[in-house]
Amino acid sequence: MKKFYLALCAVLAISACASNTPKTEEQTSLRDAYKDVFHIGTALSKSQIMGWDLAAQKVSNKEFSAITAENSMKWEEIHPTEGLFNFTVADKLVELAEQNDQFVIGHTLLWHQQTPNWVFEDKNGNPASKELLLSRLKNHIDTIVGRYKGRIQAWDVVNEALNEDGTMRQSKWYQILGEDYVAKAFEFAHAADPNAELYYNDYNLWMPKKRAGAVKLVQQLQQQGAKITAIGMQAHYSIPSLTTNPDLSEFEASIIAYKNLGIKVMLTEVDITVIRFPGAENQGADISLSYKLQAEFNPYSKGLPDEVSQEFTQLLVDMFKILAKHKESISRVTFWGVNDGQTWRNGWPIKGRTDYPLLFDRKNQAKPAVKALIELSPIFKNS
């Protein structure tokens, strides 16, 4: 009995010590740090949306207040065959967002890439008529936006309609429908859900010529009475030691130009490569580019040096400091993926590379940049 009493006392003593041991304070999440500033978002892959990659999904649930499907709502995925829609992943995305009180962006209703050939062809394989293509576009938008009316809060209506010099891209959409196809897409989206936010989204919008083209496009939409809520500046950038992409003075000039149109401004696809790009410096995000794997373009396959990580962090901090100066017009910052293992940059423009462009590493551990951005958040509230 005495032995039992002594053992019980020892257990109670250990329990008491444990209860008095101070707990390690959990770091504030990104979504909490920017809760009253703007949405901080991420793009989810199919495996993350469906819960097959629960570790990354948990990071998304905790750290981000907005989510976008990385690929699962693009035309080839959600509407692969005429009359056949696949809503499995999109439905799950919306359910996940509702469970975690997250803002949802539908990406994307109209794009020249990842759109099946049948969309642009008649039953004989010839180019579709203007009337046929317009009918298909309306049906696509009516069906998808209508299905998620009131549940998906915003849409990337048109993606990448501009060339680098600011002129209209000569896509099949343009060739068949003419320049007004952009306004038509916005018209259809607004009719399908009058309360949804509607965006134009593109890369390299920090560049002066493309900025001028985007300003012209938005002004035309406004003159035509189209509802456009915001412009999304895709931020597929590089660390400064590799390139001048972006020039931060031009980056800020673009934010000012777009907000002066009376619309909101967003960074929509933030990822910052740390690997040199073969070819031209201002690489943008043209997914048709492809090069063979070479060691000189894959220098960090074993890990990232601290000095490169610091440069990555500093660029994000510098960008966020600019955003703080224009905080009244910034509605969202979305990182294009949860972790480095997911990023499309591992396969573009060279397959097999090891890149590090996101906020969380391949083990879903936060990088120093996460802490830096959290510590920076008070300037948005005090400035």
Burial class (CB in 10 A: 0-12, 13-18, 19+), 297: middle
Cite the beta strand spans of 53-190 per DSSP E. Answer: 66-69, 103-111, 154-159
Asked about 82 being catalytic, the answer comes back as no
Q: Which of 160, 187, 197, 252 does the annotation list as catalytic?
A: 160
Give residue 279's Cα distance to chain centre.
Answer: 25
CA distance 145 to 152: 8
C-alpha to C-alpha distances, 207 to 120, 262, 286, nearest whole angstrom: 31, 20, 15
- Backbone dihedral region for residue 279 (phi beyond 0: left; psi -120 to 50: alpha; all else: beta): left
Q: Which amino acid is at 17?
A: C
Question: Which H or E element spans position 200?
Answer: strand 197-203
Question: Which H or E element spans position 62?
Answer: helix 54-63
CA distance 62 to 40: 11
CA distance 215 to 205: 10
Give the SS3 label for residue 153. coil
CA distance 339 to 249: 29
Question: Which H or E element spans position 109?
Answer: strand 103-111
CB 69 within 8 A of CB 107: yes
CA distance 377 to 374: 5
Asked about 26 being catalytic, the answer comes back as no
CB 189 within 8 A of CB 132: no
Which positions are catalytic?
Answer: 160, 269
